[in-house]
Amino acid sequence: MKSKIKAMLHPIRMRIIQTLLDGKEMTAGEMAEKLQDIPQASLYRHLNALLKEEILAVVSENRIRGTMEKVFALSATLESATTKEVEEASREDHFNFFFSFIMGLLGEYEAYLQEETINLKEDGVSFRQASVYLSDEEFMDIMTVMGEKLMAAMKNEPGENRRLRTIANIVIPATEKNQ
């Protein structure tokens, strides 16, 4: 599997990347404030993995009490590199990308089910499938609206009445034999 995409498919790494969308630059400490449920050692381990794959870049350093604090941003070449990897990926690679994505979701769902008390209805747990007939234009309209709503929600800061939620979206066109 291609290395950048494989590195990005880890759920914690996806969340780190999301904190840096829209050209944001942050220190590890600032990310830790936003990603409060991730232990500091895990955060640093995943930051290092993203740096190694050149998904993140250190854009500056600040001297703080005798140590250097790194400021991170998404790599300037990330979008073109991952686009190239996706275009050059084999069918097996694409299956592995999808499998890794699904396994990450399964891990999150399993962790939720292991909580001492759960209430699927109150917690808003759901998974559903809808098969719809859409023109390419109708499909792009829906995807644009959903994308805008999700991007806006991803900018929310942790708060007293906010709970971290994973929203996953999968789109698979029907094959001729399944229509």
Bridge-partner residues for 74, per DSSP? 56
- pLDDT for 136: 94
Residue at token pair 């698979």: 172
- pLDDT for 2: 59
Q: Which of 151, 19, 10, 12 is nearest to 74 (CA)?
A: 19
Asked if residue 94 lies in contact with residue 9, where contact means CB atoms within 8 angstroms, the answer is no
Check: pTM over 0.95? Answer yes or no: no
Per DSSP bridges, beta strands 56-64 and 26-27 are unpaired
- pLDDT for 1: 47
129: left (phi over 0), alpha (psi -120 to 50) or beta: beta
| DSSP secondary structure letters along 66-92 | TEEEEEEEE-TTHHHHHHHHHHH--HH
Residue partners of 27: CB distance under 8 A and separation at least 6: 62, 69, 70, 71, 72
Helices (H) and strands (E) in the chain, counts: 8, 3
pLDDT (tens digit, 0 to 9) for every residue of the chain, 179 residues total?
Answer: 457 888 888 889 999 998 998 889 999 999 999 898 899 999 999 999 999 998 999 999 988 888 889 999 999 888 887 788 888 888 998 898 888 889 888 988 998 999 999 999 999 999 889 999 999 999 999 999 999 999 899 888 888 899 889 898 888 888 877 66
